[in-house]
């Protein structure tokens, strides 16, 4: 059997990230892989002392059983949607993979690229919000930034 791979999927619990997660599970993830869900929260969003300690390195890896429990994951300041939790629970059983979540705080563009190196990931799958040309020029595109600055292959899954 090949060595365990660490496949990352950037999730913000939107329609785009759900589509990226589903695409990754259908096309990349295979038995024995570690699926790492990367979530970025706004800087200063946290209140607890633990989160201030994790600001640079991100949260500890959160196992699937913990982020499936709304009370457990509340301490990290995130609320995974039921669809995402269902998708990864099903995939973990069917594909025999380990699913973990890691939370970072700050600018999504920079923190996703840092996560790639810190974890480290073999590849990353990210959704896009489908911003038009003007909005993308004003707001910037997270997926475009990550594609141009990541140290691993990145797949962008378009939202319909």
CATH number at residue 18: 3.40.50.620
- 70-88 pLDDT per residue, tens: 887 777 778 888 999 999 9
- 97-121 pLDDT per residue, tens: 999 999 998 899 999 999 999 999 9
**Using 50, 70 and 90 to split pLDDT, how confident is the model at 131?**
low
Domain that holds residue 31: 6-157
| 80 in any annotated domain | yes
Q: Which of the pair, 23 or 137, is modelled with greater confidence? A: 23
CA–CA distance, 93 with 96 (Å, rounded to integer): 5
| 51 in any annotated domain | yes
* 158 membership: H or E segment, kind and range: none
- Whole-prediction pTM value? 0.87
| 41 in any annotated domain | yes
Q: Which of the pair, 50 or 81, is modelled with greater confidence? A: 81
| 1 in any annotated domain | no
| 121 in any annotated domain | yes
| 57 in any annotated domain | yes
H helical segments located in 5-132: 15-27, 49-53, 64-67, 70-73, 82-95, 108-118
Task: Count the neighbouring beta carbons within 10 Å of the beta carbon of residue 6.
Answer: 18
Query: Do 91 and 99 meet the contact criterion of CB atoms below 8 Å apart?
Result: yes
What value does the mean pLDDT of the chain take?
86
Number of domains composing the chain: 1
């Amino acid at each position: 059997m090949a060595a365990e791979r660490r496949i990352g999927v950037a999730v913000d619990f939107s329609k785009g990230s759900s589509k990226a997660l589903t695409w990754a599970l259908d096309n990349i993830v295979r038995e024995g892989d570690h699926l790492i869900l990367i979530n970025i929260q706004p800087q200063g969003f946290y209140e607890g002392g633990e989160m201030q300690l994790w600001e640079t390195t991100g949260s500890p890896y959160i196992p699937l059983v913990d982020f499936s429990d709304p009370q457990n994951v509340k301490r990290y300041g995130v609320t995974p949607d039921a669809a995402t939790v269902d998708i990864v629970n099903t995939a973990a059983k069917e594909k025999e993979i380990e699913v973990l979540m890691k939370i970072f705080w700050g600018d999504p563009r920079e923190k996703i690229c840092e996560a790639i190196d810190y974890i480290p990931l073999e590849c990353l799958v990210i959704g896009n919000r489908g911003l038009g040309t003007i909005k993308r020029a004003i707001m910037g595109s997270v997926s475009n930034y990550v594609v141009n600055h990541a140290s691993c292959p990145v797949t962008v899954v378009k939202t319909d």
